[in-house]
């Protein structure tokens, strides 16, 4: 079923996604398109009910103001403009109108139907995936993160055993994380799952490597190598599933924004491994991805987990990774997460984890001198991870966590709390 759509035309606004979100919140599907879209392209979208000309501070590109193509006004779509002077628009606003006004525009003027919801979205995607894939096979790197997990659940629903998931455990996962991927996907959802324990291989490659960038590069390239080896073992794979989401596309696709991030994909795969992509989440924002996961029956914990970097605990076990410190990061992280959940902080704090540096300090345990590692706690709040502030944790919670870490985690004799916002610190330590 084609859903009604309101198009946001990007005429230099920094708030295109806010506008798209606002429309979607009304239950109407919305997409962002570049300012120079042609009448033909717009008509080809098929189900457009109205247009928001969304101007803003990025309107000047190379010294000239971007304009909408005049032919668009003649197509007869209801239009409003936001921070964009347009004599041919019925209503002009300085800023995005409130939900009530937007509602009137979307339903009264555009006559759009509120048929954008997760059930319909999933039904549409399942149909599209089946059409695209036919009886072929799809390969998916299933990290256990939110996006890849939801893609996996969607593909299992659409094509079942034609999906092959590969989960590479690089040995830098959080406590019980790989186990839970296997449990949920293999045992509960009956996915065709290849589990690769590459712990020794990764730790071997990382031995004595202390430079953060070099560590990241090794983990990234080794990951692709392991995935590629597994892909070569499989036969008759034509497609690669990917957890691309809408912000990835918007950030790499806008023609007016100053900062353009490159769209991350499995770009490192060698050229002779050519796959077509299946990207069923590419129209969703992050919270919609989560709602989709819930609708597909994934466990709450898996769908609402905090962000976790690709290099995993490797960037939290500072300097050259050693097994004793890696274990200390993993165990202390598990305690922190458990206590945060008990205190209800898991719903309040954006990201929280522990770090173990590569130096020791003197302490005293059981009346004897000890020389052991510190554990550093970090808990931050942010909107977009570009800047971050420190969460002010209640003392009793911190004391409880400290007590447990000191009692339960080996080789640790000190706990510290990182007070630094971003900037000037980054969220991760490496």
Q: Which chain residues interact with ligand XMP by CB under 6 A?
A: 307, 309-311, 351, 385, 422, 426-428
Query: Is the Cβ of residue 60 or residue 386 nearer to ligand XMP in the bound state?
Result: 386
Q: Shortest distance, CB of residue 220 to ligand XMP, whole angstroms?
A: 8
Whether residue 22 contacts residue 106, with contact meaning beta carbons closer than 8 Å, is answered with: no
Whether residue 215 contacts residue 430, with contact meaning beta carbons closer than 8 Å, is answered with: yes
Query: Is the Cβ of residue 151 or residue 427 nearer to ligand XMP in the bound state?
Result: 427
Cα first-last separation, the chain: 47
Q: Shortest distance, CB of residue 140 to ligand XMP, whole angstroms?
A: 17
Query: Is the Cβ of residue 101 or residue 221 nearer to ligand XMP in the bound state?
Result: 221
Query: Is the Cβ of residue 49 or residue 316 nearer to ligand XMP in the bound state?
Result: 316
Q: Shortest distance, CB of residue 299 to ligand XMP, whole angstroms?
A: 21
Query: Is the Cβ of residue 101 or residue 426 nearer to ligand XMP in the bound state?
Result: 426
Q: Shortest distance, CB of residue 67 to ligand XMP, whole angstroms?
A: 36
How far apart CA 351 and CA 134 sit, in angstroms, is 40
Whether residue 53 contacts residue 84, with contact meaning beta carbons closer than 8 Å, is answered with: yes
Q: Name the strand (E) or helix (H) holding 40.
A: helix 39-44
Query: Is the Cβ of residue 18 or residue 385 nearer to ligand XMP in the bound state?
Result: 385
Q: Shortest distance, CB of residue 284 to ligand XMP, whole angstroms?
A: 17
State residue 395 phi and psi, 5-degree precision.
-55, -45
Q: Is 237 exposed, middle or buried (0-12, 13-18, 19+ CB in 10 A)?
A: middle
| CA 63 centroid distance within chain | 34
Q: Shortest distance, CB of residue 239 to ligand XMP, whole angstroms?
A: 23
SS3 376: strand
With CA atoms as reference, report the closest residue to 178 among 197, 160, 201. 197
Query: Is the Cβ of residue 34 or residue 310 nearer to ligand XMP in the bound state?
Result: 310
Query: Is the Cβ of residue 103 or residue 422 nearer to ligand XMP in the bound state?
Result: 422
Q: Shortest distance, CB of residue 422 to ligand XMP, whole angstroms?
A: 5
How far apart CA 37 and CA 59 sit, in angstroms, is 15
Q: Is 4 exposed, middle or buried (0-12, 13-18, 19+ CB in 10 A)?
A: buried
Q: Shortest distance, CB of residue 405 to ligand XMP, whole angstroms?
A: 21
With CA atoms as reference, report the closest residue to 363 among 400, 415, 401. 415
With CA atoms as reference, report the closest residue to 177 among 150, 200, 152, 144. 144
């Amino acid at each position: 079923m084609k859903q009604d759509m309101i198009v946001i035309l990007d005429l230099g606004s920094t708030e295109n996604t806010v506008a798209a979100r606002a429309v979607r919140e009304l239950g109407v599907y919305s997409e962002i398109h570049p300012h120079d879209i042609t009448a033909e392209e717009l008509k080809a979208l098929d189900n457009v009910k109205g247009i928001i000309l969304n101007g803003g501070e990025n309107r000047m590109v190379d010294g000239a103001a971007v304009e909408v193509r005049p032919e668009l006004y003649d197509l007869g779509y209801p239009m409003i403009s936001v921070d964009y002077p347009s004599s041919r628009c019925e209503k002009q606003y300085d800023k995005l109108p409130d939900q009530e006004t937007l509602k009137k525009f979307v339903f009264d003027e555009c006559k759009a139907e509120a048929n954008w919801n997760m059930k319909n979205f999933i039904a549409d995607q399942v149909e599209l995936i089946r059409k695209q894939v036919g009886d072929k096979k799809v390969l998916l790197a299933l990290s256990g993160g939110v996006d890849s997990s939801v893609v996996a659940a969607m593909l299992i629903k659409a094509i079942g055993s034609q999906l092959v998931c590969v989960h590479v455990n690089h040995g830098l996962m959080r406590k019980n994380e790989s186990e839970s991927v296997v449990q949920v996907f293999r045992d509960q959802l009956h996915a065709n799952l290849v589990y690769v324990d590459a712990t020794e291989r990764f730790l071997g490659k990382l031995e004595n490597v202390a430079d953060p960038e070099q560590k990241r590069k090794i983990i990234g390239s080794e990951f692709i190598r392991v995935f590629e080896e597994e892909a070569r073992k499989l036969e008759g794979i034509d497609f690669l599933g990917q957890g691309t989401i809408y912000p990835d596309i918007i950030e790499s696709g806008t023609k007016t924004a100053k900062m353009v991030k490159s769209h991350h994909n499995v770009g490192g795969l060698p050229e002779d491994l050519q796959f077509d992509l299946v990207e069923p989440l590419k129209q969703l924002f992050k919270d919609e991805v989560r709602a989709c996961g819930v609708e597909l029956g994934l466990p709450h914990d898996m769908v609402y987990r905090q962000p976790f970097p690709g290099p995993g605990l490797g960037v939290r076990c500072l300097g050259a990774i050693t097994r004793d410190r890696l274990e200390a990061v993993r165990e202390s992280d598990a305690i922190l997460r458990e206590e945060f959940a008990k205190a209800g902080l898991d719903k309040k704090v954006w990201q929280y984890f522990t770090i173990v540096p590569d130096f020791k300090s003197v302490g005293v345990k059981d009346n004897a001198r000890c020389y052991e590692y510190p554990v550093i706690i970090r808990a931050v709040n942010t909107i977009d991870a570009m800047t971050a502030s420190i969460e002010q944790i209640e003392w009793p919670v911190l004391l409880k966590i400290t007590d447990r870490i000191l009692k339960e985690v080996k080789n640790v004799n000190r706990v510290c709390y990182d007070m630094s916002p971003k900037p000037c610190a980054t969220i991760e330590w490496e």
